[in-house]
Chain A
Amino acid sequence: MSLDSQWEPKIVGFCCNWCSYAGADLAGLNRLSYSPTVRIVRVPCSGRVNPAFIIRAFQRGADAVLVSGCHPGDCHYVSGNYHARRRFLVFKRLLEYVGFEGERLQVRWISGSEGAKFAQTVDELDRKIKALGPNKKMRQEPPGFSGVKDHEG
């Protein structure tokens, strides 16, 4: 995609299956309209999100990453989001330290009933990233291969 006025951010979202993915579904169910720039990867738990996945997204051209899980205390798996919270508090600071705009990594607790919060979060992120412009940090030039590799032979 060219970087002219038509530029739209590319946002990768990691949503936990039990809360945030359900929250995103609810936003749709309620026909809440939000920016189509976010594309979701479903994960079982925010504790499943490896910082390496986020690094990969930035490398491949994502302009922002949204990680979303159940509110602390509500984790379907008891404690996954507590681990995620520690990890991302540290990781976000590290990204900023090496020169990323902190806004590009957004972590949010969104429950299955918070469709509106999901839509709002996406729109806010979209607005911020549009103001910042495309991410250039760590981005591969030219964009990488598809990553799809065949194993069946």
Chain B
Amino acid sequence: MRETARQLLREREVGLVIGYAAGSEAYWVTPAFIKEEAQADRLVWNPFCVNSLAKYLINYHHEPYKVAVVVKGCDSRALVRLLQDNQVQREKVVVIGIPCLGVVDAKAAALKIAPGTRILGASVTDGEFLLQTESGTLSLPRGEALCAKCRYCENPTPVLADTLLAEEVAAEPAANIYAEVREVESWPREKRSAFWDGHFQRCLRCYACRNICPACTCRECVFDQTDPCWVAKAHNLSENTAFHLIRAMHVAGRCVDCGECERACPVNIPLRLLNQKVIKDIKELFGVSTPGSRLDEMPALGMFATEDPDEFN
């Protein structure tokens, strides 16, 4: 990765490389914005590179230079989202794709890794993440440490890349990706209602989910507008629910299931469980793919087929 970055910068192919750098703790990485060849050594790739970097591209939309960005499979869907929404120009992006074997949930890793530990190297086997540290090799069992969104991965290999930094990883046969959604669907209504009320009740309306979302690139979000006032600013269950439902509908057919909203949520609202419901329904109803997995397949709610199912007669 460093070599690719160096080369891109050296040959003035790009003016900026967006990648990952080590964070303040071993299990955190931070976005790195590398403009000079010499800084490329800061770049890292390890199983803690969970965050998606694609959305940073929109900050450079008006820059004269090209930008290279490091994407995993799930992040590449976010990039497709941004391309389809005209928020990023394809010819101004160099996509460095990393076929990915899954990333580690930082919260799970924090329990296992002593503060101040430095990661020297990492590898992934079938059953565990192996981390080389100064005090030897540390093993995180895959079952415990794997990020929830990686449990069923539709695109281990980026759907879009100019260079791939490793061998392609084949997608596992489509397992029951939406098992958790189906579980919630199977509950009695009262239980579903109480479950979501309980979560929405706790929402702080900090909008972190929105801010990190690759499908949310509005210049002024409806939730920030006052006239019309779509949703009041008051912090209560009614307004919070309205916020989450409107948001779910705004990203319906556009949410790429990157899971970033859920990761960013400070109060652990299971937002993927909400958005995955819509993804699942849209796929089942209209026979489309997971949004973002195909550049030529536009958002499902922006089109229609006369033979769509009809329940409204």
Interface residues of A (CB under 8 A from B): 51-52, 55-56, 59, 71-73, 79, 82-83, 85-91, 93-101, 107-109, 137-141, 144, 149
Contacts and interface: CB of A to CB of B under 8 A. Distances in A.
A128 to B, nearest CB: 14
Q: Determine the main DSSP class of B at the interface with A.
A: helix
A86 B196 contact: no
B306 A101 contact: no
A138 B193 CA distance: 10
Contact of B278 (A88, A94, A144): A94
A16 to B, nearest CB: 13
A86 B242 contact: no
18 contacts: A51-B249, A72-B310, A85-B312, A86-B308, A87-B252, A90-B253, A90-B281, A90-B285, A91-B252, A97-B196, A98-B192, A99-B190, A99-B194, A100-B193, A107-B311, A109-B312, A140-B236, A140-B239
Contact of A90 (B222, B241, B282, B310): B282
B112 to A, nearest CB: 35
Nearest to B252: A90
Nearest to B194: A99
Contacts of A55: 242, 245-246
B224 to A, nearest CB: 14
Contacts of B252: 87, 90-91, 94
Given A51-B246, A108-B312, A144-B232, 18 more contacts: A56-B230, A73-B306, A85-B304, A86-B301, A86-B308, A87-B252, A87-B301, A90-B249, A90-B253, A93-B277, A94-B277, A98-B192, A98-B244, A99-B189, A99-B190, A99-B193, A138-B237, A138-B238
B130 interface: no
Nearest to A91: B249
A83 B302 CA distance: 7
